[in-house]
Structure 1
């Protein structure tokens, strides 16, 4: 199996999002997204030169999360990959590229939102709180949990 190269995508949801099921019952999210395009100017500024529109899809848990959190006009940041598509519609060949979402969130530079930090059950743990599941299954380097200290070079190494 070949590895896909992931890429970021910044933009906004340009159409009404649609969620349906695939033939095998997996959730599928679909929306057209707008990507503002810019040009670097000789004086160092950037000029907006238009918007490129493209289809975006997500499957499974990413589709369910996108459908529950995004509406038309919302700004987002996503990571995923582009892939070609083609099909026939009304006797015409339709083809292009779509962006397949692996992860997506609101663009914090353009969106005001509140974060719910309450403990929620982790998937696949039978309702066990996420913090407990993380302690059970995730190793955390000690430099991330230790109190802030300085090294002999004067740099802080722990968070």
Structure 2
């Protein structure tokens, strides 16, 4: 592939964007873009993103209910843990509040140290007051 942001499917000459590898969706006809990927965790998700899988508002499943990650005091360390949990191997980028619409339900303040394999292993504190969802975390995850 002539573009550094593209990667070749194994069994044909098709090149697809690198972020589409290990995004839990078969973009290559032979499925090679999903072969050998880390299994994707089902207890966090990215929603309301334009492209399936690699970007959106971060939601966390805690005690059987989906809630939003609280953006104030959110860190790039948290972003790396979340993207790793989703099966991505590269760069993690936090996106401005409201980029991927606003969530509903519980908001969770997340504090990771960076050695965690799951957001749920980080320090999670429920935001108790009725904070509006204007500060929901947006996230973009990439593969290397």
User: How high is the TM-score relative to the length of structure 2?
Assistant: 0.25
User: How high is the TM-score relative to the length of structure 1?
Assistant: 0.23
More strand by proportion, 1 or 2? 1
